[in-house]
Amino acid sequence: MSENKGKEVAIPVPWGTVAAQSWGDGQGEKWLLIHGWLDNSNSFHYLAPLLSQRGDTVIAIDLPGSGHSSWLPQGLMYHDLEFLGAIHRVIKYLKWVEFGLIGHSLGGGLALTYAATFPEQVTHLIMLDITYLPVRPLTPPQFQLRIRQAIESIELAEAKFGTGNGKVYKTKEDVRDRMMQPPVYLRDEGVLETYTPESADILLERGLKEVEGGFVLRRDIRLVLPSIHHIDWNDQREQAKEIKCPHLIIEASKGPKSKFAHSMYDIYRLNPKFKQVDIEGLHHVHLNQHQTVNKVIMDFLDECDRNKKAKL
């Protein structure tokens, strides 16, 4: 796996650093890659080097609390929308004026919201098995219940784990076996698997830390708690109207589904530069079937380049 690793980057932020991997020499088009919930920048183990082979510059970040990035200070909650502030800090640090965004799952939703909020910066938007910014799993939609569970759950987590990562696993294989079991919310939707063993190992290479007695996941346990707020559905639809750049969504046949997610397509199709591609596969299709997904992405970018040259 080491041959696909990028150069380690540490981007300073007020609470520590946002860790990232970089590929390329600073030339060509620029790409920021954003992983999904509880994953890390190794999510783009196959795609990032391929983009750099085009002559492009690629940065894949670990979101705060994930991978090698700093955790938020104790006592604070993680709000997915606030990841956008961290992404903006990264962009300002890199001094990028224009760039493309690629995100998987939660990362795709964050890329969408960023592109709608800062449209002058984003040249391309590619979303992998997501069509909107999702609600964090196990977050109740009801206002009072959501607030109560978010507040009580962080208190329980602090009492149980203190400032630790959570459960200690005796072996790496134990962690992988746990990863291969989808959480209850996915099983209730009929999703019985998301990773292959090879994909799980790729993510664990960056997401695992050895401690006394075994191994722990590097991610902050607070990331699994209910979120105290989420973006309103009407706001989601409004932001979809703001996407004018070339926009690709790749949807996996066996990934999580929802009626709301598919309702977004009618809005996206108003953009003549929008394309949707369905692929047979699991939610982490970009890792499990990377050759198929990467070909779709490269073909899309080639088509964008041809369209751009035709207008010059």
Catalytic residues: 105
With beta carbons less than 8 A apart as the criterion, state whether 33 and 47 touch. yes
Largest Cα separation within the chain, whole Å, is 62
Contact 228, 79 (CB under 8 A): yes
Name, in order, each residue with C-beta under 8 angstroms of 135's C-beta and a sequence gap of 6 or more: 141, 227, 230
Q: CA-CA distance, 207 to 217, in Å (whole number)?
A: 6
| E strands present in 15-148 | 16-23, 30-34, 57-61, 99-104, 122-128
141, 147 contact by CB (below 8 A): no
Q: What are phi and psi of 74, to 5 degrees?
A: -60, 145
Q: Give CA–CA dist 19/12, Å, rounded.
A: 9
Q: Which two tokens stand for residue 141?
A: 């939609």
